[in-house]
Amino acid sequence: MTQHDEQPAPRTFTAAPPLSGSVTVPGDKSISHRSLMLSALAVGESRVEGLLEGEDVLATAAAMRAMGADIQRDDDGIWHIHGVGVGGLLQPQTAIDMGNSGTSTRLLMGLLASHDLTATFIGDASLSKRPMARVTEPLSRMGASFTTSPGERLPLTMKGACPAVPLDYRLPVASAQVKSAILLAGLNTPGITRVIEPIPTRDHSERMLKGFGADIDVEVEADGTRIITLVGEAELKPQQIVVPGDPSSAAFPMVAALLVPGSRVTIANVGLNATRAGLIDLLREMGGSIEVVNAREVGGEPVGDLIVTASALRGIEPDPARAPSMIDEYPVAFIAAALAEGRSIFRGLEELRVKESDRIATMAEGLRTIGVRVEELEDGLIIEGSGGAALAGGGPIATKLDHRIAMSFAVAGLVSKDGVTIDDMRPVATSFPTFLPLLQSLGAIA
């Protein structure tokens, strides 16, 4: 059952005793989406272990099934995907319902742009508010055509082009989704597709395309600009993939353990890809004790276990260039800043205004509701920290159907005087279905 056909599920989170224990977080959402899509384009059977089984990723699985891939999950939680080959996707018979998943919508639009088929994408109320122009614009240059709702939004119908036209594209804004959409379109496009990325973003697509056997090359210039070249009409080979724990999900127990006095928590098997690990660096600079142990590589991705110990944090003014490496973690970083000593200034976060909600405005409003002094900027927030004193609390917090807003304020409730009430916890199922049991296992909630 999806989150938009039930009643809201409010919940209050109250001050917690010291957190302790060892936990794992669900599989990385970005890698889970891509592993299903690329396995569906390989010829033969791929196996995926540790797949995130949240609503967003299940929407991707359903979409790939609708276009001909055979996708099964066995009782051990291992997913078996029999692909159709690059260029082999079939015409879907009905509209593709992406639920709340912006990532898979944009990536799938790329995948389909170079196939001779027509597809209609629909989504929930939150996804239907999110603009798609940043993807439809480059994909149109490759030959795909789009009929969108006003504001380049869903519902949206697209017609792919076969053969598509290879593209040489410089990203106007840092976006892993746009980059990935163009590269996925390039798989079935004759010739060379090239993406120039002035500011590096998460590189899961490049790593995984290489792993599946695509002819892809990444060149880094002296100023850090990345030039990604993909040779089209690729033949992908099936893979065995182990999905690491999602650093965006690990962010919540990590910040909770830093903030709740006396806590010491181990978070096992977390993906530590440098393009995603910005929050760990930021929290360490604020004075947070986060130790990486058992560092290793799994399927081309760096992985490790984190030992997090409660720490007194200080305010920070991070470099805006860090934003792409922790874009999804800013909401919970704002909670850390609210407990820090002194002022934190976050800038360069325009991207947050077009997430599941306008995360700058939604976080500012929620922080004020629980007694935090905050100033909203066009591209970020200025937060006056409490110096470690418990937050006042209050609510209900209007989460705007945004899973990361809900979980961030749940963490705030663990360090509040009067508790923090969240208006609706249902959206958490999109990315972190085990969030409440995880908090329970650490002793944070009864």
Report the C-alpha gap between 238 and 47 in whole angstroms: 8
C-alpha closest to that of 204 among 431, 35, 31, 26: 31
Extract the tokens encoding 154.
């869903």
Is 75 a residue of the active site?
no
- One-letter amino acid at 329 equals E
CB of 19 closer than 8 Å to CB of 416: no
Alpha-carbon distance values, 167 to 85, 124, 229, 233, 234 (Å): 22, 31, 10, 14, 16
Pairing of β 264-271 and β 20-24: parallel
The answer to whether the Cα torsion of 99, 103, 106, 107 is positive or negative is negative
CB of 386 closer than 8 Å to CB of 341: no
Report the C-alpha gap between 259 and 252 in whole angstroms: 11
Rg (CA), the chain: 21
Exactly one of 28, 246, 305, 328 is catalytic; name it. Answer: 328
Report the C-alpha gap between 279 and 271 in whole angstroms: 12
Extract the tokens encoding 109.
């639009």
Q: Which residues of 243-278 are buried (b: 16+ CB within 10 A; e: fewer)?
A: bbbbbbbbbbbbbbbbbbeebebbbbbbbbbebbbb
- Active centre residues (catalytic): 328
